[in-house]
Structure 1
Amino acid sequence: MPVDEGAAQGRVLFLITVEEARREDFLAAYQQIRHQVAEGVPGHLRDQVCQSATDPEQWLITSEWRSLDDFTAWERTAGHRDLVRPLRACFRDATSIRFHIKAETSRDTPRAGLATPTTAG
């Protein structure tokens, strides 16, 4: 379904390397914060933690937000830094990538084309 750009939801991806020796610490830290984020951070919609099928040290955390502004506002708070500190302590390295969701497809999505951006001229 096409998404109105002014109200576009956002998706944040964290590509993370967690050494095998830190895996249990990482999962425990994720478990400690996931419900706090889901229940208490304005604009947070959902998240997932995923482990690579081919490299057990490669992880992905995806989070979906009402808007990327909601994520950015939370990320800038001291509360965010304090909450995620135990999780980040488990990373060997991490990359964060942010996206605006432009379309979404599911079984229940009616067939329709993507809205084509127009240029002012």
Structure 2
Amino acid sequence: MPGMLGSELLHDVHDPEGFVGVSRWRDLDAFRLWEHGEEHRDSTAALRPYRDYQRGRPFAVYRVAGAY
């Protein structure tokens, strides 16, 4: 995907069923362009069965607030 820097699947070391998918993007505009594009739904379809709605929505978008 243009603007995507990489992605990782993180496994919770305290919960064998806990996972988080993280993708890094060049900037928020690149992410939003992909998110609103036609390819978005097809490229994330395999992850839909694993969505966790316990927090109200199955995903979040974060911005870097600081780097050390």
The TM-score with structure 2 as length reference comes to 0.76
Tell me the amino acid that sits aligned with residue 102 of structure 1. Answer: A
CA deviation vs aligned residue, 1:46-97 (integer Å, no higher than 9, x gap)? 2110111111221111111111111111011221101211221x31525322
CA drift at 1:45: 0.8
1:101 counterpart = 2:64: yes
Q: 2-side partners of 1:97 and 1:72: how far apart?
A: 13
Larger radius of gyration: 1
- What root-mean-square deviation, in Å, do the aligned CA atoms of Structure 1 and Structure 2 show? 1.6
Match of 1:91 in 2: 50
Count of aligned positions = 64
1:75 counterpart = 2:35: yes
Gap runs ≥5 in structure 2: none
SS in 2 for 1:63: strand
More helix by share: 1
Work out the percentage of aligned pairs sharing the same amino acid.
Answer: 33
SS in 2 for 1:96: coil
Tell me the amino acid that sits aligned with residue 37 of structure 2. Answer: T
Q: 2-side partners of 1:86 and 1:49: how far apart?
A: 14
Higher relative contact order (CA 8 A, sep 6+): 1
The TM-score with structure 1 as length reference comes to 0.47
